[in-house]
Amino acid sequence: MNYDLLDSVNTVQTPEGVDIYLRVAGIWPRSVAWFFDLIIRGFLYAFAAFMLGQLGDFGTGLMLILFFFMEWFYPVFFEVLNKGMTPGKKFLGIQVLNGDGTPVGWSPSLLRNILRTVDFLPFFYGFGLVAMLMNDRFQRLGDLAADTIVVYVNNNIQSQSIPEYDHIKPAFNLNIKEQQAIIRYAERSQQLSDDRMIELAEILNPLDIEKGKMTKEKLLGIANGLIGR
């Protein structure tokens, strides 16, 4: 699985001021997880229909009630009681969390799943797909309303030690956000490909103290200077 895209990372800051980096799950893994859950529900529906169908009209009534609860509460039950994971999400290694990175509760899980009906419109999650493509956390409308995100399980990017490079001073003073961005770039250097590192470094050409393009080595040198090496 390719994790080279820096913009697939969502940064959440805890009340203690510690940054947690979460890998946001995109459209493909979420779609596969949904399809996997659909198959499971299909087997459950078929089994319930076979068993309750033998009870006549009474069984048919029970079956309709059971289908209603399974359709609406199947994902809610698993998301709240199974660490944000339905069987399909667990199979794909993804989970639902609140937007601040905390475990999802009953209210947000219920809200995000009730609004799945709106996401499904006008045909096969049309609105949901458009919403996911329009925000960097791949949130469908239900996620936006409930402030929930879907991330990879146990794949948080913890702060890595910054590779040692000769200290380089930037061409001008950096504000705190710029300093944090450069340090995070250096911390994630072990997760990013060389091509991605070079591409991101070249965006910051004005920081260079010399003529020419900014390189990843120079940017890592600036990061070393920022942390006091």
| Pick from 103, 79, 87, 82: nearest CA to 34 | 87
DSSP three-state, residue 174: coil
H/E stretch holding 62 reads: helix 56-81
Domain residue extents for the chain: 6-152, 176-226
- The 8-class DSSP code of residue 24 comes to B
Identify residue 153 by its one-letter amino acid code: V
Q: Would you place residue 5 in the very low, low, confident or very high pLDDT band (cuts 50, 70, 90)?
A: very low
**In the chain, which ranges are E strands?**
9-13, 19-23, 94-98, 148-152
Task: Give the pLDDT of residue 229.
Answer: 64
Give CA–CA dist 8/136, Å, rounded.
Answer: 7
**Closest C-alpha among 88, 89, 78 to residue 152:** 89
Residue carrying the six token digits 């103290």 = 209
Report yes or no on whether pTM surpasses 0.85.
no
pLDDT at position 2: 36
In the prediction, which pLDDT does 23 show?
A: 84
Name the percent of the chain lying above pLDDT 90: 39
